[in-house]
Amino acid sequence: MSIHDRTVSLVTGGAGFLGSHLCEQLLARGHEVICADNFFTGTRRNVEHLIGHPRFELMRHDVTFPLFAEVDEIYNFACPASPVHYQHDPVQTTKTSVHGAINMLGLAKRVKAKILQASTSEVYGDPQVHPQREDYWGHVNPNGIRSCYDEGKRCAETLFFDYHRQHQLRIKVLRIFNTYGPRMHPNDGRVVSNFIVQALQGQPITLYGEGLQTRSFCYVDDLIDGALRLMGTPDQVTGPINVGNPVEVTIRELAETILRLTGSASPLVFRPLPQDDPMQRCPDITKARETLGWAPRVQLEQGLARTIDYFERLLSSSTGPLPHGLQPSATPVAAAIQTPALAA
Ligand code: NAD
Ligand code: UDP
Ligand code: UDP
């Protein structure tokens, strides 16, 4: 609490896709917001409309280093989330999850703050239980190309629960399933941004494998609502708790929906399936419904239409082919080569 009696919230990764929406919603609730980000995948542009707000502070900071600040609650969202980005510097990805968690938990311990971890459906790996419930331990390769992210996030969960048991920290662990919406980076290589940008630019839609793998897509506003509700629960509620949209679609169906909504004539092309790409993913959200009174409200087509609108405006406002001169990634490797430009 500041002397003004306002809740002070720290959002790590606050200049990223989800973090920027979270900062907005916390400001709307009257909080003071400290946004800490090293701008690896996030950009100032995502929060530029908040700069100058009397309760908003933007800080360049890498969570793998200690951070000293007086705060009431911490949302630990710092970590690249797209496979292309987290595989670009995998050692840094693990450090961000593990050292980042230790530093933020150390901070929470010192100032007695509540702390929420942005965990992920990736803790379930390529799941053999379907849909995924929170008590499923997962099926994760410990040394593949996705492991830096999956195992980093799993270790972060371990640290959260050990700080809770050992130091009585007030923790909240949110397992986020695939989330999309405005402010996804056009070149982050994730499927929704790739397909929309490809469709709008008349480029081929790149389906990895046969496009028969499934995902369940949650609109960003619903996800942020779930995160805020979890932070507001009584101290005994620690999670882990799944938040995602249980409507499961194949990647091919997603491509067809985006083609229809954009009216694009882009052809479908097939590319190799990346290693360890999970074949299916769908949350069981019984716990979120019962504990948080939460369920997604935005239907996939509604959310996609809003996201398409965002990318249309973004593409038409840029002078070059894309902001930073980036193209949507045709393959994971091609996109990884372009990633350093993101820091701009
Ligand atoms: P994003 O890449 O847009 O945002 C991540 C932010 O973290 C960026 O602003 C980036 O610059 C920052 N960051 C990265 N490493 C950092 C470090 N060492 N120090 C400080 N900042 C750092 O991704 P997003 O989709 O907004 O994801 C946010 C969080 O939610 C991540 O922790 C991610 O694992 C989690 N998550 C997201 C999804 C999803 O579908 N969007 C799904 C599951 C989990
Ligand atoms: N830490 C931090 N900010 C703080 C307090 C701690 O960043 O306000 C970091 C610090 O780097 C420390 C880590 O959190 O190494 C873990 O803190 P903890 O108190 O759990 O462990 P210790 O300080 O004993 O290593
Ligand atoms: N995918 C695809 N074409 C693309 C990008 C992704 O077919 O251009 C597939 C990818 O192989 C995966 C799914 O879409 O099966 C979701 O990929 P994303 O990177 O968005 O998230 P994650 O794999 O982490 O769920």
CATH number at residue 326: 3.90.25.10
What pLDDT sits at residue 3? Answer: 63
Residue 23 falls inside a structural domain: yes
Structural domain tally of the chain? 2
69 lines ligand 2 (CB under 6 A): no
Residue 109 Cβ < 6 Å to ligand 2: yes
Ligand 1 atom at minimal distance to the Cα of residue 42: 9
The reply to whether 42 and 170 lie within a common domain is yes
Catalytic residue IDs: 149
Q: Give me the residue label for tokens 């499961």.
A: 248
Residue nearest to atom 17 of ligand 2 (CA): 106
Rounded Cα gap, residues 244 and 179, in angstroms: 7
Provide the domain limits for residue 162.
Answer: 8-177+218-243
Q: Which of 59, 96, 104, 109 to mutate to test the pocket of ligand 2 (most atoms within 8 A of CB)?
A: 109
pLDDT at position 62: 98
The structure's pTM equals 0.94
* C-beta separation of 153 from 97 below 8 A: yes
Ligand 1 centre distance from Cα of residue 4 (Å): 30
Which pLDDT score is estimated for 343?
29
- In this structure, the answer to whether residues 21 and 104 fall within a common structural domain is yes
The interaxial angle of helices 191-200 and 300-317, nearest 10 deg, is 60
- What lies within 8 Å, CB to CB, of 281 at 6+ separation is 121, 124, 127, 132, 177, 178, 214, 215, 216, 248
Assess if residue 256 is contained within a domain: yes
- Cα dihedral 339/174/130/215 (nearest 10): -30
Same domain flag for 239 and 90? yes
User: Whose atoms come closest to the Cα of 169: which ligand?
Assistant: 2
User: What was the pLDDT predicted at 143?
Assistant: 98
The pLDDT value given to residue 317: 85
Phi, psi of 167 (to 5 degrees): -120, 10
Distance CA 194, CA 23 (A): 25
Looking at the fold, whether 36 and 173 belong to one and the same domain comes out as: yes
Q: Could you tell me the distance, in angstroms and rounded to a whole number, from the CA of residue 77 to the centre of ligand 1?
A: 5
Q: Label the pairing between strands 205-208 and 214-216.
A: unpaired
Query: 292 lies in a domain?
Result: no
Q: How far is the CA of 109 from the centre of ligand 2 (A)?
A: 8
CA-nearest of 133, 176, 184, 131 to 303 is: 184
**Local confidence pLDDT in tens for the 344 residues of the chain:** 666 689 999 999 999 999 999 999 999 999 999 999 999 999 999 999 999 999 999 999 999 999 999 999 999 999 999 999 999 999 999 999 999 999 999 999 999 999 999 999 999 999 999 999 999 999 999 999 999 999 999 999 999 999 999 999 999 999 999 999 999 999 989 999 999 999 999 999 999 999 999 999 999 999 999 999 999 999 999 999 999 999 999 999 999 999 999 999 999 999 999 999 999 999 999 999 999 999 999 999 999 999 999 999 999 987 544 444 334 443 443 333 233 233 22
Note the ligand closest to the C-alpha atom of 121.
Answer: 1
**How far apart are the CA of 264 and the centre of ligand 1, in A?**
30
Asked if 267 and 310 sit in the same domain, the reply is yes
Instruction: Judge if 203 and 139 occupy the same domain.
Output: no
Name the residue with the closest Cα to ligand 3, atom 11. 208
Name the residue of 10, 12, 17 whose CB sits within 8 Å of the most ligand 1 atoms, as the mutation to test its pocket.
17
CATH of the domain at 122: 3.40.50.720
pLDDT at 325: 34
